[in-house]
Structure 1
């Protein structure tokens, strides 16, 4: 374990280990959400309530409930990698248009207890207005000054909520930011200054030219007991 992680609260570390070390978290911007041809059931509730629900998906929602809510044609079952690439988790992709796609990760293959909801598209927002694509400047207005893990490692860009105004979401919400695709080429010195397994203040001037935006949201519903 990297020495810089040792100071994190145990609950936070457990969440990062259980929910971060897989392709869905590490490269959210590269995940393709298939376009649904058939009309989706109207979904006006796109509110994220950390630890409680993502729209109509709650801590007790099952795969059968998803079928009733959205129809089987919009669901795709899959398996994603477990912590550090060891083991795997059952998951169900929900394909909805207008930026409402998401992935439900289950506690086991029965798909009756959701661990978390991730790969949230841009329409999903918290009550504070935080969603995928929110720029760093807006995050600082809503979270205050906070700490961020450096880029390009297992937990790159992860926001330490316990250092923010939204510390009440600790253990219920995982947020990860990333730089614009061409940032490393356009601003190599600034980019290199915020790399690696160290923490950096959100007010660090090297973030400013990099086009930092929220790249990934994971809403924890039933924390893993592993």
Structure 2
């Protein structure tokens, strides 16, 4: 690994580890999204603006605001664990339909300051059209040839935005890709070739058979310093 790439990788990993070491970051939590809801939600703004907003949810949105935006019946408060089991903090699921659901993580139990939004359904997209489900080939068109962490550990599949076309989103957006179901069993050699705590190029040919797609978007709104 050359020195410039190593520096980028280290900076991104430090960012992730800093979030995991305090109540400002949690690894994606699995949410069982409801298949349908009684009524379609009236809002149509599903735009992600990294560092600023996720649709109507902004840096200043509170739990009470979520009630006004989505209705109390669609909210579920919970406490979730931080990355690598470090810490716990307040979160609120917004259960709409499968494509629009999300998770708001708060700075403390008052639920008045959102730290980040995650577990976004496929309807939520950036201005570039990036959303959950975007395949690796499309990500390369939008980001250029980027680096990402190898698979098989907590931060596996995390994209390094530095030196990509979306470098301005560094520190505001975290993108993580996953393989298709059973890809590790079907293509064990390819899976091993792109696994481990290291950085790899998105052009590595071993990614291709694994069915790589964007699986998690974390939008940082008020990250802890």
Q: Give the TM-score normalised by the residue count of structure 1.
A: 0.89
- 8 A contact 2:149–2:156 mirrored in 1: yes
Pairwise mapping of residues 72-83 of structure 1 onto structure 2 (< 5 A)?
Answer: 72-83=72-83
Unaligned runs of 5+ in 2: none
Shift of 1:35: 3.9
Aligned pair 1:192/2:189, yes or no? no
- Counterpart residue number, 1:58: 58
Distance in 1 separating the partners of 2:18 and 2:46: 25
Q: Which of 149-158 and 33-42 deviates more?
A: 33-42
Tell me the matched-pair count. Answer: 219
Distance in 2 separating the partners of 1:33 and 1:98: 5
- Counterpart residue number, 2:172: 172
Aligned pair 1:25/2:54, yes or no? no
- 8 A contact 1:47–1:127 mirrored in 2: yes
Q: Deviations over 1:98-136 (max 9, x none)?
A: 500000000000000000000001100000000000000
- 8 A contact 2:20–2:86 mirrored in 1: no
Q: Secondary structure at the match of 1:84?
A: helix
- Counterpart residue number, 2:49: 49
- 8 A contact 1:17–1:84 mirrored in 2: no
Q: Secondary structure at the match of 2:48?
A: strand
CA 167–207 in structure 1, closer or farther in 2 if over 3 Å, else same: same
Q: Deviations over 1:18-77 (max 9, x none)?
A: 546899635x6x531134532143121000000000000000000000001111000000
Distance in 1 separating the partners of 2:85 and 2:6: 21
Q: Which of 179-188 and 56-65 deviates more?
A: 179-188
Unaligned runs of 5+ in 1: none
- Counterpart residue number, 1:121: 121
- 8 A contact 1:20–1:155 mirrored in 2: no
- 8 A contact 1:40–1:70 mirrored in 2: no
Q: Give the TM-score normalised by the residue count of structure 2.
A: 0.90
- 8 A contact 2:26–2:82 mirrored in 1: no
Pairwise mapping of residues 1-226 of structure 1 onto structure 2 (< 5 A)?
Answer: 7-8=7-8, 12-19=12-19, 25=27, 30-97=30-97, 99-225=99-225
- 8 A contact 1:122–1:133 mirrored in 2: yes
CA 150–10 in structure 1, closer or farther in 2 if over 3 Å, else same: closer
Q: Secondary structure at the match of 2:138?
A: helix
- 8 A contact 2:81–2:88 mirrored in 1: yes
Distance in 2 separating the partners of 1:133 and 1:166: 18
